[in-house]
Amino acid sequence: MSRLFSINRICRLCGISKSTYYDCQHPDERFEVRYERLRNKISKIIRENSAYGVERIKTALWDDYQIHIGRDALGRLLKLWGLQLKRKNKKSKPSVIQKILISLADRTNLLIRSIITAPFQAITSDISEIYYNDGKKRAYLAIHKDVFGQTVYGWQLAEFKEADLVINSLEKAKKTIKKLIGRIPKKMLCHQDQGLIGPVYTEPVG
Average pLDDT of 71-81? 88
What percent of the chain stands above pLDDT 70? Answer: 75
- Tell me: the pLDDT tens digits for 100-127? 666 655 555 666 667 788 899 889 888 8
pLDDT at 195 over 60: no
Q: How far apart are CA 44 and CA 38, in angstroms?
A: 10
Q: What is the mean pLDDT of residues 175-180?
A: 94
Q: How confident is the model over 42-75, as pLDDT tens digits?
A: 999 988 888 888 888 989 999 999 998 888 889 8
- What is the distance between the alpha carbons of residues 191 and 201, in angstroms, rounded to a whole number? 6
How much is the pLDDT for 200? Answer: 31
Between 192 and 119, name the one with better pLDDT. Answer: 119
Buried b (16+ CB within 10 A) or exposed e, 153-188: bbbbebeeeeeebbebbbebbbebbeeeeeeeeeeb
The answer, yes or no, to whether residue 196 has pLDDT greater than 50, is: no
The structural domains of the chain, with segments of one domain joined by +, span 7-80, 96-204
Look up residue 36 and give its amino acid: E
pLDDT for res 61: 92
Nearest C-alpha neighbor of 71 from the set 55, 60, 82: 55
Report the 3 state secondary structure along 135-159.
CCEEEEEEEEEECCCCCEEEEEEEC
Cβ partners under 8 Å of residue 164, min gap 6: 156, 158
Q: Which pLDDT score, from 0 to 100, does residue 202 have? A: 38
pLDDT at 22: 61
Contact 45, 64 (CB under 8 A): yes
- Tens digits of per-residue pLDDT, 130-141? 888 877 788 999
Round to whole Å and give the CA distance between 43 and 39. 6
Please tell me the predicted confidence (pLDDT) of residue 153: 94
